[in-house]
Structure 1
Amino acid sequence: MSFKTLGLCTELLQSADELGFTSPMPIQEKAIPILLSGEKDFVGLAQTGTGKTCAFGLPLIQKIDNTSPHTQGIVVCPTRELCLQITSDLKNYARHMKTINIVAVYGGASIVNQIRQLKVKPHIIVATPGRLMDMMERKAVNLSQINYAVLDEADEMLNMGFQEDINHILKATPEHRKIWLFSATMPRGVAAIAKNYLKNPVEITVGAKNESPKNISHKCYVIHEKNRYLALKRIIDFTPDMFGLIFCRTRKDTQIVAEDLMKDGYQAESLHGDLSQSQRDYVMRKFRQGTVRLLVATDVAARGLDVDDITHVIHYNLPDEMETYTHRSGRTARAGKSGASIALINTKEKYRIGNLEKKVNIKFDFAKLPDGKEICQKQLLSMIDKIMKTDVNHKEMEEYFPAVCDALSQFDKEEIIRRFVSSEFNQFLDYYRHADDINVKTSKERPQIKARTSVKARTSVKEKSSPSSRPLKVKNNGKRIRIEKTQRFFINVGRLDKINEGAIVRLICDKSGIRSGMIGEIDLNREFSFFEVEQKAAAQVSSSLNNAVLDGRPVKVQKVLKNKKNTKRDHNI
């Protein structure tokens, strides 16, 4: 099948041809004809890197009436990087439709300039939820006449705490508009949005729901905790051409691992919530250009990352949520390419691999870390391959070549080769000469999935009367589930500061690296607020939110020593 059979107009077909699009990818082939009809709400489930932007972008542009002075389409996505990427893609698709105006609206950039761009009434707005909400409050955006609302990476937006923002945005759209929802996974929150706002949607799934792509191999290495970093280095050294993304659980671990890699001579950088937007842009520019080969990141910081050529995703720490593994792995094997997802686990984490296999419908290869001899051989062959592929500039070398030959005349050919190879290769020989085997011997049986204690059994356990014993209630599709042992915090911002629950959730997740599911009730008051987190994450939250800034304002966070819940300020904070 070709793009010509999908019903696209001549201008879009010309753009597709110039962009090198040959045949549509599965999600494009299934979605484009349906979306071009413009008659139905739509749910598209497909992994990242499968061509979703093209799947909704081409139909959206074709459905725009360029003679109308109103905004007709919005695309809402989770991060600044993805917002800019989608905007660039849409402008490329519309290159032969000059009268269509597309504007990006996102945080971390001048709001004055964006308001100026919005005054010309763009046909399509691509936005992050927080900045779009801000623009709506300033009356700079009017969604009353849009025809199409696209939610891209819907599951990621919910993970980042944008549930309330998305609800507010969709409620501001007219009744007749069509919603196109795209997501990699279908957790309960995304299903709730589809149920509440979409009317009899057409649902298209490429692959199984919540399933990892087939073109990704999944490997697992079992190590002792003390050898985690050593194992990471062996994996990298055994893969000389790796262009990889390394995931850590917290921003602190991210920074430590990146710094250690740089000290050991690797082309590495870190990406986490403590970086300013300019620092983040600088790191991402180096990564996209290939001057940085290893990017060490937290899940929050890597959301919306759009780089096509990543060969490996390494889980330095396994994620807390199953869906997060799918998102991480989906950063490789994009645009039909193959890739590898590698997990490092200690002996106590083996059961989690079984859970992942069942939930995501994958099979892990329990592999052995290469020994020093295997790594040295791999590096040597890689170096020889690069030498063989090196282009020689004979003309430029001509005047220097006689002097080089004279200096090396005392050696025969084999000795020259040995000395040359040794000059480049001795560091690996020295490092791995006496390297130990750090693999953990495990039984040949697959790890068993750990049985889950029923909710009834868990809640029957008698709670302690400590400040952290009050059950944590986490939002789940409009309801709350109970989790034992919580810590309550005071934060000195409230409704007067124009914040909502989503802003507090994003602040906690971004700064501490914990997942949103570990955050419980949030009580917004006029000038201050309270929030709860799982007790095991309390120390991490407390230390990471020191000197934090929320929407340009320094915030003060303190533990509440007594878990009294009221609308007035708690005592003993």
Structure 2
Amino acid sequence: MQKKPFTELGLSPELLKAVAKMGFEEASPIQSETIPQLLTGADVVGLSQTGSGKTAAFAIPAIERVDGNLRAPQVLILCPTRELAMQVAEEVAKLAFFKRGVRELPIYGGQSYDRQLRGLRDGAQIIIGTPGRVMDHLERKTLRLDQVGMIILDEADRMLDMGFRDDIETILGQAPAERQTVFFSATMPPAINQLVKKYTKEPVNVRIQAQEMTVPAIDQSYYEVDRRSKLEVLCRLIDLQDIKYGIIFCATKMMVDELSDHLKARGYSSDKLHGDISQSMRERVVAKFRKRGFEFLVATDVAARGLDVDDIEVVFNYDLPQDAEDYVHRIGRTGRAGRSGRAVTFVAGREIWKMQQIIRFTKGKVRRERVPSAEEVEQKRTSEFLENLRETLEKGEYKRQDTVIDQLLDQGYSATDIASALIHLLGGDKPAAQPIVEEQPRREYPNYQSREYPKYESRKSSPRETEARAPREHRESREPREAAARKEFHAPAERREKPSRSPRREPSAASHEEGMVRLVFNVGNAHQIEPGDFVGVIAGVTRLPKEVVGRIEILDRESLVDVSDECADQVLKKLNGIKFKGRRLNVNIAR
């Protein structure tokens, strides 16, 4: 089954803009087949494995159907677990970003009723919920289905396995008869067939076969790392393993641009490929890469199709691919013609479930590796430098500088001091390794929900609320769809509670460290800035050692960075006006 560009699926300009904002260039097979059918109003039964892009397949048509002027539930999406309901709601919010008046609301057991009641009173049109909590709202008369024109059952087989059949039938029975009904399931047991026959009208069946794929003999490994630390871990691996020639795959065009710029700022030779680059430019980049004109090619899946380059040392999956097929195509770029090859994948947060799904489908052996420490990287750099220095001394192939050395000796400098200063100058080109940000589980949750689950109410819980306390095997959340794109998307402030990375206090305009001056940058939390970005751009552009950077405090739309007093003028001169994270940088001394 072929993939199609989103522009060929008959979507509104607002949805196309949202998809482009998320960075996706074409629809997955399930999306390509399902979206046009759902847009016609037909009932659909979709069979596809987890990780195939099912959420966008039903969320996009659902958003298209919503009337933004009608403040009432119009679409109901049922999910088996609260984790899945949260993920679906997050995806819907990103896709509905440019649709005026369209609001989504997740409702599930374990969350405060007050928050859900407030969202229902405010007129949320797309309700994403678990069967138990939806039934509770129906019994309380706080949720009405009389305006609902579309009901979607996501992972219907799991909901039946968890004992929600009676609730599902009650909900479907209370919904208007003239509605669109959609079933998505990984399997089609007899119980699902019975529901389909009873509650759908001439449904269109879309089946995406789950292919068990084998991968070539490539050494595969993955690292669990916070999204904010991916760049630092990538640079550590390149330096520690002395990698000189590889491809780095990203999920979106925006991420390709940013990563390529960061690598260049850190002194690595790189170029990029994605759908917005002209064909003539692509050909020049590929030709130069084949001739080893640069070290690392940063690319999206679409741009790298048909790329045939020999001797690739390693393929990095900087972002996880959408499905196992894309994973196999990516890593197949290395280990060609009987040569050895390596594939390294970065996994962030809940993406571990998606990685396990890929491993099962490909039947591959993928090791989990430990992130190398900063000390290991520094030790490797020192060892390499000493080895090169020793080799140069033994060969004697260097121009003697006796006159210069004698002048320094006459001025009272010792031979040890002179050698140490030279080594310092020679070894200061690249910024030293930065601290790795520990994984923060709370950052994985959507912005519109509480960071901690509230306690259950004191009344006796109904049987339907047991979904919130289901056994672990029933609470495993499905992997987030197009997870890599989430990092780049921000919901409107009036619809989300925006988390802050910095403490809630008034920042000081003066540095707390002696010998440091505080600079203010015109980028902050709203622009997806991380502390390592400031260290990287300062060290990369000014060629100053990373030690000149002190405390970094990221605020909403600006950041405060302490730098050494003697280097402040150089930082201001070099960084003002450059393009950083898609914005023209403006740096001043904090007042």
Shared fold (TM-score, shorter chain, > 0.5):
no
Normalising by structure 1, report the TM-score.
Answer: 0.43
Normalising by structure 2, report the TM-score.
Answer: 0.42
The structure, 1 or 2, with the larger RCO (C-alpha pairs under 8 Å, 6+ apart) is 2
